[in-house]
Amino acid sequence: MRKLLLTAVMSAVAAVALVSSMTAAAAGCPVCGKNLIKNPGADAGRGVNAVGASGLVPGWTIAAGQFGAASYTFPNGWFSARSKGPAKRGKNYFFGGTTTEAVTAPASIGTQTFALPKSAVGRKATLSGWLGNYGENRTQVRAQIKDASGAVLSTVRIGPAVTISGTDMALRTRNGKVPAKTTQVTVSVIFSGGGANYKLAGADGLSLVLS
């Protein structure tokens, strides 16, 4: 009995120490432990539901092509509510587009940039997301960690993964480290390739977390 009691006490102490450690880490790095990506599932805003339609994705800037969001009910989309993807998915997913701008561009690219405090330096950066391909259309997500001048210090990237096929998305995760002199990070979602009609590759459930 005494041994069981001692074990229980030690477990409780360890749990308290872990929570205290996490609290201290969060206090020293206010951006750590949370998803830094805004609108990570493209659910803020209206997902297109018709060929040739387009629309802005709140929180994201179109850098090339016709980066946008599609509804999971889009009948001409490659992914649906039955496709494998995030367990808590919303109504939309990021996709490459069906407009002329999307088809003719080498890639459809959406970006967002946010500042990082000095306390982020030295932290582990974990980039993850659900990626889906369509034919020769490929999906890539990258986090470019930059200094104050905008020079790229390091990059964490997931995709393009040629092993992803069919109408399901697959989870990809990769880690990096925030180097010295970092002040900002740019996250880009890139849909490349394509045929004569659409760029129907997709992505959902994106996450960039520092720890």
Q: Tell me the HSE value of 102 on the side-chain side, using a 13 A CA sphere.
A: 25
Residues 17 and 38 in one domain: no
Where is pLDDT greater, at 50 or 17? Answer: 50
Residues 23 and 82 in one domain: no
Residues 41 and 22 in one domain: no
- What is the model's pLDDT at position 159? 95
Report the phi/psi class of residue 193: left, alpha or beta, with left for phi > 0 and alpha for psi in -120 to 50.
left
Q: What is the CATH number of the domain that holds 161?
A: 2.60.120.260
The Cα angle at residue 60 between residues 54 and 61, in degrees rounded to 5? 75
Structural domain for 123, as ranges:
31-210
Where is pLDDT greater, at 188 or 193? Answer: 188
Percent of the chain whose predicted confidence (pLDDT) is above 90: 71
The pTM of this model reads: 0.85
Residues 16 and 40 in one domain: no
Residues 137 and 112 in one domain: yes
Backbone φ and ψ for 185, nearest 5 degrees, come out as: -145, 140
Query: Could you give the CA distance from residue 49 to residue 16 in angstroms, rounded to a whole number?
Result: 49
Instruction: Give residues with Cβ within 8 angstroms of 141, minimum separation 6.
Output: 127, 129, 131, 157, 158, 159, 187, 188, 189, 190, 203, 206
Task: Provide the number of structural domains found in the chain.
Answer: 2
Query: Could you give the CA distance from residue 94 to residue 20 in angstroms, rounded to a whole number?
Result: 37
Q: Summarize pLDDT for 129-186 with one digit per residue, the tens.
A: 999 999 889 999 999 999 999 999 999 999 999 889 889 999 999 999 999 999 999 9
Residues 16 and 53 in one domain: no
Task: Please check the confidence at residue 88 and state whether its pLDDT lies above 80.
Answer: yes
Instruction: Give residues with Cβ within 8 angstroms of 55, minimum separation 6.
Output: 45, 46, 47, 48, 68, 69
